[in-house]
A and B are shown apart, each in its own frame.
Chain A
Amino acid sequence: MNRGCLRGRRRATSLRLSALLILAAAPVLVATGCRKQGAATGDVSVDASITPQPVHTGSEVVAFRLANSAHQPVAGARVQVEGDMSHPGMAPVFADAQEISPGTYKASLNFTMGGDWVVIFHITLSDGRKVERQMDVKGVESN
Chain B
Amino acid sequence: MTKPPVAASPAAEEKRPAEDEEFFESQPFDLLRTPVIGPLLRWRHSRTFLQIPLFAVSVAMILEGLLGPTLSPKNMATVLTWVHFRGALVIAILCAGNLFCLSCPFMLTRNLMRKWIHPRFTWPRQLRNKWIPIGLFVGLLFSYELFGLWASPWLTAWIIVGYFAAVLIVDGLFTHGTFCKYVCPIGQFNFIAATASPLEVAVRDYEVCDGCATKDCIRGRREPSSPLVVLQRGCELALFQPAKVGNMDCTFCLDCVHACPHDNVGILSRLPAAELWNNSQRSGIGRFSRRNDIAALALVFCFGALMNAFGMVSPVYTVEDWLRRTLHIQSQAAVLGVLFTAIIVVEPALLLGAAAWITRAWAGVKSSWLAIAVRYAYALSPLGFGMWLAHYGYHFFTGLYTIVPVTQNAFVDLGWPILGEPQWTLVGLPKTVVEPIEFGFLLLGLAGSLLVAWRLAQEDSETHPMRAFAPWGVLCVILFLCCVWLMTQPMDMRATMLAG
Contact = CB atoms under 8 A, between A and B. Distances in A.
Nearest to B410: A31
The range of chain B's interface size is 35 or more
Contacts of A11: 115
A24 B55 contact: yes
Given A82-B424, A85-B493, A90-B399, A134 B71 contact: yes
Given A6-B223, A20-B52, A138-B499, A89 B112 contact: no
A94 B74 CA distance: 15
Contact of A32 (B67, B83, B395): B67
Interface in A16-69: 17-18, 20-21, 24-25, 27-29, 31-32, 34-36, 57
A3 B229 contact: yes
A21 B52 contact: yes
Interface stretch (B56-64, B126-134, B207-215, B266-274): B56-64
A10 interface: yes
A118 B495 CA distance: 12
Interface in B214-254: 223, 225-226, 229
A86 B493 contact: yes
Nearest to B395: A89
Interface string B479-500: 0000000000011111100111
Contacts of B22: none
B413 A35 contact: yes
B490 A87 contact: no
A88 B150 contact: yes
Contacts of A82: 424
A102 interface: no
Contacts of A113: 490-493
Contacts of B112: 14, 17-18, 21
B108 interface: yes
Contacts of B399: 88-90
B83 A28 contact: no
Nearest to A28: B60
B398 interface: yes
B78 interface: yes
B499 A88 contact: no
Interface centre among A28, A36, A87 (most CB of B within 10 A): A87
A92 B424 CA distance: 7
Nearest to A142: B490
A89 B494 contact: no
B314 A142 contact: yes
Contacts of B115: 10-11, 14, 17
A111 to B, nearest CB: 11
Contacts of A134: 71
A31 B412 CA distance: 11
A25 B74 CA distance: 22
B226 A3 contact: yes
B73 A85 contact: yes
A120 B491 CA distance: 21
B12 interface: no
A34 B414 contact: yes
B425 interface: yes
A6 B150 contact: no
29 contacts: A3-B223, A3-B226, A7-B229, A20-B52, A28-B59, A31-B414, A34-B415, A36-B415, A86-B73, A86-B150, A86-B151, A86-B495, A86-B498, A89-B73, A90-B73, A90-B427, A94-B424, A114-B491, A114-B493, A115-B491, A115-B494, A116-B148, A116-B493, A116-B494, A116-B499, A138-B494, A141-B314, A142-B490, A142-B491
Given A88-B79, A90-B73, 18 more contacts: A2-B225, A3-B225, A24-B59, A27-B56, A34-B416, A35-B414, A36-B412, A86-B73, A86-B494, A87-B395, A88-B78, A88-B83, A89-B73, A89-B79, A89-B398, A91-B398, A91-B428, A115-B492
Interface of A: 1-3, 6-7, 10-11, 14, 17-18, 20-21, 24-25, 27-29, 31-32, 34-36, 57, 82, 84-92, 94, 113-116, 118, 120, 134, 138-139, 141-143
